Amino acid sequence: EDQVTQSPEALRLQEGESSSLNCSYTVSGLRGLFWYRQDPGKGPEFLFTLYSAGEEKEKERLKATLTKKESFLHITAPKPEDSATYLCATYGQNFVFGPGTRLSVLP
Protein backbone atom coordinates (compact mmCIF):
# COMPACT_ATOMS: atom_id res chain seq x y z
CA GLU A 1 0.00 0.00 0.00
CA ASP A 2 1.30 3.45 -0.92
CA GLN A 3 2.21 5.60 2.07
CA VAL A 4 3.29 9.19 2.56
CA THR A 5 4.59 10.65 5.81
CA GLN A 6 5.70 14.19 6.57
CA SER A 7 7.94 15.66 9.23
CA PRO A 8 7.95 17.62 11.34
CA GLU A 9 4.26 17.79 12.19
CA ALA A 10 4.66 21.47 13.08
CA LEU A 11 7.50 23.95 12.68
CA ARG A 12 7.94 27.41 14.08
CA LEU A 13 10.56 29.66 12.49
CA GLN A 14 11.65 33.21 12.97
CA GLU A 15 11.38 35.41 9.92
CA GLY A 16 14.51 34.85 7.83
CA GLU A 17 15.35 31.50 9.45
CA SER A 18 15.69 28.95 6.64
CA SER A 19 14.63 25.33 7.09
CA SER A 20 13.42 22.21 5.29
CA LEU A 21 10.29 20.09 5.41
CA ASN A 22 10.48 16.38 4.73
CA CYS A 23 8.17 14.07 2.81
CA SER A 24 8.95 10.35 2.86
CA TYR A 25 7.09 8.02 0.57
CA THR A 26 6.61 4.38 -0.33
CA VAL A 27 4.91 4.17 -3.69
CA SER A 28 4.77 1.49 -6.34
CA GLY A 29 5.55 3.08 -9.67
CA LEU A 30 5.76 6.74 -8.72
CA ARG A 31 4.34 8.88 -11.51
CA GLY A 32 4.63 12.20 -9.71
CA LEU A 33 5.20 13.88 -6.37
CA PHE A 34 3.33 17.09 -5.62
CA TRP A 35 3.63 19.86 -3.06
CA TYR A 36 0.67 21.97 -2.00
CA ARG A 37 0.17 24.88 0.35
CA GLN A 38 -3.05 25.06 2.37
CA ASP A 39 -4.22 28.07 4.33
CA PRO A 40 -6.80 27.51 7.11
CA GLY A 41 -10.28 26.90 5.72
CA LYS A 42 -9.06 27.09 2.12
CA GLY A 43 -8.43 24.57 -0.62
CA PRO A 44 -4.88 23.30 -1.18
CA GLU A 45 -2.94 25.43 -3.64
CA PHE A 46 -0.67 23.62 -6.09
CA LEU A 47 3.04 24.49 -5.79
CA PHE A 48 5.26 21.92 -7.57
CA THR A 49 5.36 18.64 -9.41
CA LEU A 50 8.48 16.46 -9.38
CA TYR A 51 8.74 13.40 -11.58
CA SER A 52 12.17 11.82 -11.12
CA ALA A 53 14.97 11.56 -8.59
CA GLY A 54 17.36 14.47 -8.81
CA GLU A 55 14.75 16.88 -10.08
CA GLU A 56 14.44 20.31 -8.45
CA LYS A 57 11.85 23.07 -8.81
CA GLU A 58 11.94 26.59 -7.40
CA LYS A 59 9.37 29.29 -6.78
CA GLU A 60 10.24 32.43 -4.87
CA ARG A 61 11.53 31.33 -1.44
CA LEU A 62 10.60 27.68 -1.97
CA LYS A 63 12.64 24.90 -3.55
CA ALA A 64 11.47 21.31 -3.85
CA THR A 65 13.83 18.37 -4.40
CA LEU A 66 13.24 14.67 -4.96
CA THR A 67 15.15 11.48 -4.20
CA LYS A 68 14.02 7.88 -4.61
CA LYS A 69 12.46 7.81 -1.16
CA GLU A 70 12.05 11.42 -0.04
CA SER A 71 11.24 14.91 -1.09
CA PHE A 72 12.28 18.09 0.65
CA LEU A 73 10.70 21.50 0.57
CA HIS A 74 13.39 24.04 1.40
CA ILE A 75 12.23 27.44 2.60
CA THR A 76 14.83 30.18 2.34
CA ALA A 77 14.49 33.34 4.44
CA PRO A 78 10.79 32.76 5.14
CA LYS A 79 8.33 35.57 5.76
CA PRO A 80 5.21 35.53 7.95
CA GLU A 81 3.06 35.15 4.83
CA ASP A 82 4.67 31.75 4.23
CA SER A 83 2.81 30.46 7.30
CA ALA A 84 0.52 27.64 6.15
CA THR A 85 0.22 23.88 6.11
CA TYR A 86 2.37 22.28 3.42
CA LEU A 87 1.09 19.03 1.97
CA CYS A 88 3.00 16.45 0.02
CA ALA A 89 1.18 14.01 -2.27
CA THR A 90 2.25 11.14 -4.48
CA TYR A 91 0.67 9.64 -7.54
CA GLY A 92 1.27 5.97 -8.24
CA GLN A 93 -1.89 3.95 -8.65
CA ASN A 94 -3.80 6.69 -6.81
CA PHE A 95 -3.17 10.04 -5.23
CA VAL A 96 -2.02 9.73 -1.62
CA PHE A 97 -1.66 12.82 0.56
CA GLY A 98 0.59 13.14 3.58
CA PRO A 99 -0.73 14.64 6.83
CA GLY A 100 1.07 17.93 6.26
CA THR A 101 3.54 20.14 8.11
CA ARG A 102 2.06 23.17 9.83
CA LEU A 103 4.54 26.03 9.37
CA SER A 104 4.43 29.20 11.45
CA VAL A 105 6.82 32.04 10.62
CA LEU A 106 7.07 34.63 13.37
CA PRO A 107 7.95 38.27 12.63
Partner 1 sequence: DSGVTQTPKHLITATGQRVTLRCSPRSGDLSVYWYQQSLDQGLQFLIQYYNGEERAKGNILERFSAQQFPDLHSELNLSSLELGDSALYFCASSVVTGELFFGEGSRLTVL
Site residues, partner 1 (CB under 8 A): 31-32, 34, 36, 41-46, 49, 87, 89, 91, 94-100
- In angstroms, what is the minimal distance from the CB of 99 to partner 1? 4
User: What values do phi and psi take at 42, rounded to 5?
Assistant: -115, 165
Residue closer to partner 1, measured from CB, 31 or 79: 31
Whole-number minimum distance, CB 104 to partner 1, in Å? Answer: 15
Nearest distance in Å: CB 59, partner 1: 14
CB of 25 or CB of 36, closer to partner 1: 36
Could you tell me if 28 and 47 are in contact, meaning their C-beta atoms sit under 8 angstroms apart? no
Q: Confirm if 24 and 67 have CB atoms less than 8 A apart.
A: no
CB 10 within 8 A of CB 101: yes
Residue 2 and residue 98 in contact, taking contact as beta carbons nearer than 8 Å = no
